[in-house]
Structure 1
């Protein structure tokens, strides 16, 4: 197996870069008009697909005509390799509409692996074969379908879409456990070079993929049938690996050991690593400036305290008054800055003869206007300076000048 990294299997960005992005921007007005028109046509195409019999040639002709108006074209090669006895089709998974493209040239049944309402499952063309009840139930129902119906079963053994450029995900074993001939089908997607929008991206929603299908001028699905393959003297797991290697070789990519579960885990890691960066950057910037502003207010009251000590306490309290209280009461240890004592007033009452400074310097009421609030702050500032000076002199046993 190849050592292709899992991030190489998926497109991270849907839009092109450079000149490709510029041409896409110029095309956007036309694309929006096409999108609106195609939404109405697509609704009628969906009704046609649901009403007409699935195996009807008339249904195929009508749907291919309507899909061409939607910008969805299908080109098939090596159709002579189509084996009517092979009623299990396995295809690589490149986009949300892969099953529709294949259904336009070869009506089939796609087992649903999602727990969808019956009406929605019918509209999307899925068939409930009990995948949610477990692998054994799915295989039993699929075998029963192969015995009783002429419509082949379509399976995407990768279990998740890739960009089709580097490799194939590891195949699930269940389609190769039906004891039926397997018809490998290769699907490749091409879009015009001037609107090089990726059919699917990591973490993208299916309905967004459909939106871009209707937006671009056209999308061509190249479908190629390989010769049918049967299980020989080998295990089902070995048979699965053989088919994966065959399809990868014909596509010009590498078979990998990465699974659809690995894709989900990779997507989770990617989202976790990206979202905090996007969210934190503006918060960190605004938080830092706010801390600096509060630090300046504290230093105006307590100029002998180092700025880093003030910021460290503000980071926890987020409150100027509370940080000042911590510093005054000695709850925060620090080394006073030199020259800060001399900044105190030269004449002041003796600490031994004066009453303890009043700690309650919070304004009795909030000022109604800016001048009142500024006056309140100045009064508190003076009281705090005096309180800090007296506490500092008392704590260090400095004699009054």
Structure 2
């Protein structure tokens, strides 16, 4: 079973040796990136002109597009082209947040992406706006394109990976009686630079693509597939995933979108968690004083989390608010009730019922709820202090 950490990389370059070589390449890479950013504007202008003069299938246009894209640093190598069907929904494994635009242009497809642009730009990018949970209008738009022999590219995986395995596919591409054209892609670069990372965004993936000398998309086209009468949509989806997995020589995993989100939260928490042995200087007395005040109010919050946020906000109130609103993530500490060692006095404390923990949609009510919770925590802290010192 492939670990999620080995499937969704946290860094672009894992090897130290390759990091040194890429560092030496930086001057040339940055120059190449700046030139390609400028040429991208020219590419958009060329596409606008071509849209006015001819169709996407025009052979002269296709030659010019592939030459221009090669200058921008992307090329394609297609295998088993005879298996391709123009009236199919193309499903492809996901390697970066920009491969949909590049592959759509290189292979003359229309990419179904959740991109809210309209007019000329969406035509130039060869895109079709489709929500993560498509509505009937989105499905009808896909059917209209398929009827005129314009294949639609869909990424069934919820996020990009490094190709070491396949995540669970989303359901919607397999629920509408589409003919499916499975394809698998491998990304080849002179440097082992990942196409995407766990928390990257589209523009960072694009800039890294421009930075690399060349990115080759090696695409293998599999035979078209239809759902059998005796199988449901989930069985059809898994049959396609297994065929793609076999061609990629990569396992099918049980990770879905929620697993990736939880993994991202865990990674961000570990990155924010301060390492005491790496601190350049200890917290100041004022920081420690404010952190102890917050700790008295929120005893279940680890002290290192409080210190980290207090150093940033310089305010007890703002730190308490950040913690209560979930801005600061942490793993709660187990709380133990303090006991009087001499057993002379036993104080019974009243157990308070917490105020409503959910936030109202009304901003005024939400603010009142937050203030009530803060007051409640302060009152409980006072009671504990009185109990502890026998006042």
TM-score range, shorter chain: 0.5 to 0.7
Aligned to 2:78: 76
SS at match of 2:274: helix
Say if 1:17 and 1:140 are closer, same or farther in 2 by CA, change over 3 A. Answer: same
Aligned to 1:335: none
Give the Cα–Cα distance (whole angstroms) in 2 for the partners of residues 168 and 132 of structure 1: 18
Gaps of 5+ in 2: 290-313, 315-391
Aligned to 2:19: 21
For residue 116 of structure 1, report the CA deviation from its aligned partner: 4.3
For residue 171 of structure 1, report the CA deviation from its aligned partner: 0.9
Say if 1:105 and 1:122 are closer, same or farther in 2 by CA, change over 3 A. Answer: closer
For residue 70 of structure 1, report the CA deviation from its aligned partner: 1.6
Aligned to 1:150: 149
Question: Where in structure 2 are the equivalents of 1:233-248 lying within 5 Å?
Answer: 233-248=230-245
Aligned to 1:268: 265
SS at match of 2:90: strand
Aligned to 2:169: 171
Say if 1:83 and 1:124 are closer, same or farther in 2 by CA, change over 3 A. Answer: closer
Asked if residue 255 in structure 1 is aligned to residue 257 in structure 2, the reply is no
For residue 180 of structure 1, report the CA deviation from its aligned partner: 2.8
Gaps of 5+ in 1: 293-317, 319-401
Aligned to 1:186: 184
Say if 1:285 and 1:120 are closer, same or farther in 2 by CA, change over 3 A. Answer: farther
Deviations 1:100-138 (A, max 9, x none): 343344312222324446565445332135x37744443
Deviations 1:15-56 (A, max 9, x none): 243321221111111112211211211221233234424333
Equivalent in 11, 25, 35 of residue 9 of structure 2: 11
TM-align CA RMSD: 2.9
TM-score normalized with structure 2 length = 0.66
Question: Does structure 2 retain, via aligned residues, the 8 Å contact 1:143–1:178?
Answer: no
Query: Number of aligned pairs?
Result: 286
Question: Does structure 2 retain, via aligned residues, the 8 Å contact 1:98–1:187?
Answer: no
Aligned to 1:111: 112
Say if 1:114 and 1:217 are closer, same or farther in 2 by CA, change over 3 A. Answer: closer
Aligned to 1:198: 194
Give the Cα–Cα distance (whole angstroms) in 1 for the partners of residues 193 and 25 of structure 2: 12
Aligned to 1:139: 139
Give the Cα–Cα distance (whole angstroms) in 2 for the partners of residues 278 and 45 of structure 1: 48
Question: Does structure 1 retain, via aligned residues, the 8 Å contact 2:74–2:216?
Answer: yes
Question: Where in structure 2 are the equivalents of 1:287-326 lying within 5 Å?
Answer: 287=284
SS at match of 1:45: helix
Say if 1:265 and 1:114 are closer, same or farther in 2 by CA, change over 3 A. Answer: farther
Equivalent in 29, 32, 36 of residue 30 of structure 2: 32
For residue 241 of structure 1, report the CA deviation from its aligned partner: 0.7
Question: Does structure 2 retain, via aligned residues, the 8 Å contact 1:91–1:184?
Answer: yes
Question: Does structure 1 retain, via aligned residues, the 8 Å contact 2:76–2:218?
Answer: yes
Say if 1:279 and 1:78 are closer, same or farther in 2 by CA, change over 3 A. Answer: farther
Question: Does structure 1 retain, via aligned residues, the 8 Å contact 2:78–2:218?
Answer: yes
Say if 1:236 and 1:291 are closer, same or farther in 2 by CA, change over 3 A. Answer: closer
For residue 282 of structure 1, report the CA deviation from its aligned partner: 4.2
Say if 1:171 and 1:50 are closer, same or farther in 2 by CA, change over 3 A. Answer: farther
Aligned to 1:100: 101
For residue 208 of structure 1, report the CA deviation from its aligned partner: 1.0
Question: Does structure 2 retain, via aligned residues, the 8 Å contact 1:55–1:151?
Answer: no
Aligned to 2:56: 54
Equivalent in 277, 283, 287 of residue 286 of structure 1: 283
Give the Cα–Cα distance (whole angstroms) in 2 for the partners of residues 201 and 291 of structure 1: 36
SS at match of 2:283: helix
Say if 1:114 and 1:69 are closer, same or farther in 2 by CA, change over 3 A. Answer: closer
Question: Does structure 1 retain, via aligned residues, the 8 Å contact 2:84–2:221?
Answer: yes
SS at match of 1:286: coil
Asked if residue 44 in structure 1 is aligned to residue 42 in structure 2, the reply is yes
For residue 276 of structure 1, report the CA deviation from its aligned partner: 3.4
Give the Cα–Cα distance (whole angstroms) in 2 for the partners of residues 215 and 143 of structure 1: 37
Asked if residue 127 in structure 1 is aligned to residue 128 in structure 2, the reply is yes
Equivalent in 221, 227, 230 of residue 225 of structure 1: 221
Give the Cα–Cα distance (whole angstroms) in 2 for the partners of residues 11 and 40 of structure 1: 30
Question: Does structure 1 retain, via aligned residues, the 8 Å contact 2:133–2:172?
Answer: no
Give the Cα–Cα distance (whole angstroms) in 1 for the partners of residues 95 and 288 of structure 2: 50
Say if 1:22 and 1:180 are closer, same or farther in 2 by CA, change over 3 A. Answer: same
